[in-house]
Structure 1
Amino acid sequence: MEYSHSLLPSASSIGSEPRLLDQVRARVRRLGLAIRTEKVYVDWIRRFILANGKRHPRDMGAREVEAFLTLLATRGKVAASTQNQALSALLFLYREVLGQDLPWMENIRRAKRPERLPVVLTRDEVWRILDRMDGAHHLMASLLYGAGLRLMECVRLRVQDIDFVRHEITVRVGKGGKDRRTVLPAMAIDALQAQLVHARIVHERDLRAGYGAVWLPSALERKYKSASMEWIWQYVFPSRSRSIDPRSGMERRHHIDEKTLQRAVRVAVKSAAIEKHATCHTLRHSFATHLLESGSDIRTIQELLGHADLSTTMIYTHVLNRGGSGVVSPLDRR
């Protein structure tokens, strides 16, 4: 897509200043942010610019940002989380790319997300879903429920993250950029070991073909030159085919597409005739709730889930079958 001259360097600086969106991409990569973040930020910044007649963001400020977010809410009918994502992209643009940290940035309020109780499955419903899945998708769904993993944490697991001796899974760079450890379910060990045998065959085949490298964060790739080829860095759930890395241009084997797991769970939920809006994340909610039901300490559950704030974990006390304080309805007393 072409942009007006207002988004290009001025005549006096041609050849010295990259185009704005290229600057955004470069800054995202310099900070080591995920490629998904790069795509989302670039898209929102582009939409902001186009919504304002292709004016350069340096010539705009709080009024235009507020108007853009209002437009998303009123005409676009987007959720609060989407509005906040757009705001994060614009604040990144002004602070990290344009080098502006102005008072008005702190005064823009984020949209308030509605407080909803998470959907939780019963143990029977979980097993009905799992019984309708097979192969790698069954194993991955088992880990979402049995270890409380988020969807992307599961698909991004690497060989070195699995500790069969200690029955632990290490989640590296989870939400908020933090590492944590969670439980490795004993019932998943055999299937997980078989999956690793499959992943190793795939890796060795790639090595013989002259490939075998996986993506590593830039800092790690610079520090450990050959690490991307080593077995311990390979994905536990590799993709069926290699693809071109959009940043480096290298042909690599990435992890399995998370959308395939989402579809498999959706099909299993429908097949099991479960009348709840159950998704991959519902399995994680069920993990926390069932641990709480069985008497696990709330602080322990907080650590396993990787919640920074205990209040986030406390939401599960409100979805227990017996109620947050074990209250019995007066209608049930006679």
Structure 2
Amino acid sequence: MGTFTKNSDNCVNANGVVRPPKRLLDQLSESIRLKHYSIRTEQAYRGWVRRFILFHGKRHPQEMGAREVETFLTHLAVEGRVSASTQNQAKSALLFLYKEVLRTDLPWLDDVESAKSGKRLPVVLTPEEVQRLLGPIEGTTGLILRLLYGTGMRIMECLRLRVKDVDFARREILVREGKGFKDRVTMLPEKLMAPLGEHLARVKALHAADLSAGFGDVYLPWALERKYPNAAREWAWQYVFVAARRPVDPRSGAVRRHHVEAQSIQRAMHQALRVAGVSKPATPHTLRHSFATSLLETGYDIRTVQELLVGHSDVSTTMIYTHVLKRGGHGVRSPLDMLG
């Protein structure tokens, strides 16, 4: 496959050394990182730009424009039969390429054949099904799945938790930079207080061993590593759910321990559903839907449930509570604590 480098003059640095121009996909990655997008977004955007270029016979995007973008997106909807969300992701990737990398604003893409967006109700598990599902699962995987059901967190919100985000005294979990870059607070289920404390004791011992071996630093977002040089090795910044290995960071090249991969939790969920005899097409995200449904069925106010799930942009609405006790996590008792 070609490198997708537009023929242009080579770059000359301050020492007079001639360097070849950066490849287009490398320029894309650099722009994405400047915007502090996640590595998953970077991988997805690179994939869509690569597919766009190959679809048009390896022509450079500078030689193309809105018409070619519309043709590609329409092909995804009509021939590829992708979902509306998939087509929108491809569109976002290409608009980002033209605006942030090529510095070209495309006109509004009116002629794109949009993928059909189906309106489907979310899959929800009953408390009995959740009991059968979670009962046999032990270890870190079981703890993660119980947290998803007991707090309503998204899977990546749970996996990206740092030690400092768990407040045992207030029985709260601070979810940082959730969807829409919003912070919010949810409850820490009483049933998970002891298991989570024991888990963190093991993680702390692992972190101490990493430090002794010359490792122990963790990825820090938003250039915090430059602002607080020692924070990456501090216990408070470590991930709650760390991976078993220390891989090479694909962005920085540093060898350090990352959080557990989402795919491993998804596979464990699939296996647990089969063992429990639950025939619904559930995923870890289903536990979030089940969390909300359980609270509403129990009688909690819909505004309170909304606050726990996504947070409010208007501060005045965050104080609206009905039918709740004054406890941690906005006074809501976790559905995990309601299981027999």
TM-score if structure 2 supplies the norm length?
0.86
**Secondary structure at 2:143 match in 1:** helix
Distance in 2, Cα, partners of 1:71 & 1:112: 13
Match of 2:105 among 98, 101, 121: 101
Query: Partner residue of 1:8?
Result: 6
Q: Is the 8 A contact 2:73 2:90 kept in 1?
A: yes
**Secondary structure at 2:200 match in 1:** helix
Query: Partner residue of 2:52?
Result: 48
Query: Partner residue of 1:254?
Result: 258
Deviations 1:197-255 (A, max 9, x none): 01101100000000000111142112111111000000111111101001111100001
Distance in 2, Cα, partners of 1:106 & 1:33: 27
Deviations 1:307-327 (A, max 9, x none): 6699xxxxxxxxxxxxxxxxx
Deviates more, 1:53-62 or 1:108-117: 108-117
**How many residues are paired up?**
308
Query: Partner residue of 1:158?
Result: 162
Query: Partner residue of 2:148?
Result: 144
Displacement, 1:91? 0.7
Query: Partner residue of 2:213?
Result: 209
Deviations 1:104-158 (A, max 9, x none): 3577576452111000011010111010211111111111000001111111111
2:231 is the counterpart of 1:227 = yes
Deviations 1:67-102 (A, max 9, x none): 111211232222221111111100110111111223
Match of 1:191 among 192, 195, 206: 195
Distance in 1, Cα, partners of 2:226 & 2:35: 14
> In 2 relative to 1, CA 107–161 (structure 1 residues): closer, same or farther, beyond 3 Å?
farther
Query: Partner residue of 2:318?
Result: none
Match of 2:246 among 242, 249, 252: 242
Displacement, 1:191? 0.6
Q: Which runs of no fewer than 5 residues in structure 2 stay unpaired?
A: 12-17, 315-340
Match of 2:24 among 16, 20, 30: 20
Displacement, 1:2? 2.2
Percent of residue pairs bearing the same amino acid type: 55
Distance in 1, Cα, partners of 2:147 & 2:55: 43
Match of 2:117 among 110, 113, 120: 113
Deviations 1:30-74 (A, max 9, x none): 111111111111111011011111112122122211111121123
Distance in 2, Cα, partners of 1:34 & 1:287: 26
Q: Is the 8 A contact 1:9 1:18 kept in 2?
A: no
Q: Which runs of no fewer than 5 residues in structure 1 stay unpaired?
A: 311-334
Query: Partner residue of 1:322?
Result: none
1:286-297 maps to which residues of 2 (within 5 A)? 286-297=290-301
Displacement, 1:257? 1.4
**Secondary structure at 1:103 match in 2:** coil
TM-score if structure 1 supplies the norm length?
0.87
2:73 is the counterpart of 1:69 = yes
2:179 is the counterpart of 1:175 = yes
Distance in 2, Cα, partners of 1:275 & 1:231: 41
Please identify which structure carries the higher helix content: 1
Displacement, 1:293? 0.7
**Secondary structure at 1:137 match in 2:** helix
